[in-house]
């Protein structure tokens, strides 16, 4: 039997995937907010195997504590984000600050439209992404799990789309698997599931549905043992990816024996 993994359309190499021409071997992106200590953050990032780490520019001061975080994670690809922004204008200004301060044109764009649910404001998000793409940024937008919104963001030139699994920080997992599967099936850029992952099984499901990667923060940072959870998430993403590539058996409404019925004793 041939066990060769068949890459998806946007991939290069054995099982790496590409964002804006950059090949990444880890399919886990990890956030840096909410860890008990800087030492635990450092150890969790190492245990996760993640190559891309993200942090809010509004939360992290680029002098003092924030600069310590950037220095501590040297060697990782730093993905600043615009968390907390509520308008396109604010998101654009924050992205420009991040590019100047961190010398990177990668940006995760968040524009929040509702403070209770932290749902994206789609109109403001699209406006911000259009401007930032035109300005030479590599744009990875956090968006709702709407196939049409994801398609429009891809059409604008975003390097990936990052649909929510469920509400930010909720730990509810993948709330709309059918939507996510449709987004993954249609996208020609990487799909990174962002928000809502609560434990390893949630990450497996997201990857089995065809996601290119998962971005996880709260589930690791707020776990009783963040380092161990980071290691679990690393394995979960790998397992879900392998299962997706292997191809699951179809669901049936009846039993089907796995052993042949011929040649049984007494038959």
Q: Domain-by-domain residue ranges, the chain?
A: 23-246
Mean pLDDT of the chain: 88
- Condensed to tens digits (0 to 9), the pLDDT of residues 176-204 reads 999 999 999 999 999 999 999 999 999 99
- DSSP alpha helix (H) spans, the chain: 38-48, 65-72, 88-102, 122-134, 147-156, 177-186, 200-208, 218-221, 226-246
Q: Measure the CA–CA gap between 111 and 121, rounded to whole angstroms.
A: 6
pLDDT in tens, 56-85: 886 555 554 445 666 677 788 899 999 989
Is the CB of residue 49 less than 8 Å from the CB of residue 236?
no
Average pLDDT over every residue of 206-223: 96
pLDDT band (50, 70, 90) for residue 15: confident
The confidence band for 256, taking pLDDT boundaries of 50, 70 and 90, is: confident
Other Cβ atoms within 10 Å of 104 Cβ, number? 15
- Quick one: pLDDT band at residue 261, thresholds 50, 70, 90? low
Annotation says 108 is catalytic: yes
Fold for 23-246, please state it.
Answer: TIM Barrel (3.20.20)
pLDDT, one tens digit per residue, over 35-45 is: 999 999 999 99
Query: What does pTM read for this prediction?
Result: 0.85
CB within 8 Å of 262: residues ≥ 6 apart:
none
pLDDT one-digit tens code per residue, 101-119:
888 999 999 999 988 889 9
What pLDDT, on a 0 to 100 scale, did the predictor assign at position 56? 86
- Which is the catalytic residue, given 74, 76, 108, 222? 108
């Amino acid at each position: 039997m041939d066990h060769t993994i068949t890459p998806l359309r946007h991939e290069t190499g054995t099982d790496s995937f590409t964002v804006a021409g950059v090949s990444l071997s880890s399919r886990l992106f990890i956030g840096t907010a909410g860890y008990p200590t800087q030492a635990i953050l450092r150890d969790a990032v190492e245990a996760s195997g993640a190559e891309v780490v993200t942090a809010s520019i509004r939360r992290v001061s680029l002098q003092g504590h924030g600069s310590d975080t950037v220095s501590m994670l040297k060697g990782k690809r730093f993905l600043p984000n615009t968390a907390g922004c509520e308008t396109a204008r604010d998101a654009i200004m924050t992205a420009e600050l991040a590019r100047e301060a961190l010398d990177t044109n990668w940006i995760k764009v968040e524009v929040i439209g509702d403070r209770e649910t932290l749902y994206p404001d789609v109109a403001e998000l699209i406006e911000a992404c259009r401007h930032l793409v035109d300005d030479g940024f590599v744009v990875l937008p956090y968006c709702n799990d709407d196939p049409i919104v994801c398609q429009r963001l891809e059409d604008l030139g975003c390097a990936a789309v990052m649909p929510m699994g469920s509400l930010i920080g909720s730990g509810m997992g993948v709330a709309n698997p059918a939507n996510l599967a449709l987004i993954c099936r249609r996208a020609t850029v990487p799909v990174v599931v962002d928000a809502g992952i609560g434990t390893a099984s949630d990450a497996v499901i997201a990857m089995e549905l065809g996601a290119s990667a998962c971005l996880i923060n709260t589930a690791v940072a707020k776990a009783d043992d963040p380092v161990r959870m980071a290691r679990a998430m690393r394995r979960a993403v790998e397992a879900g990816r392998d299962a997706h590539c292997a191809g699951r058996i179809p669901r049936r409404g009846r039993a089907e024996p796995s052993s042949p019925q011929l040649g049984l004793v007494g038959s």
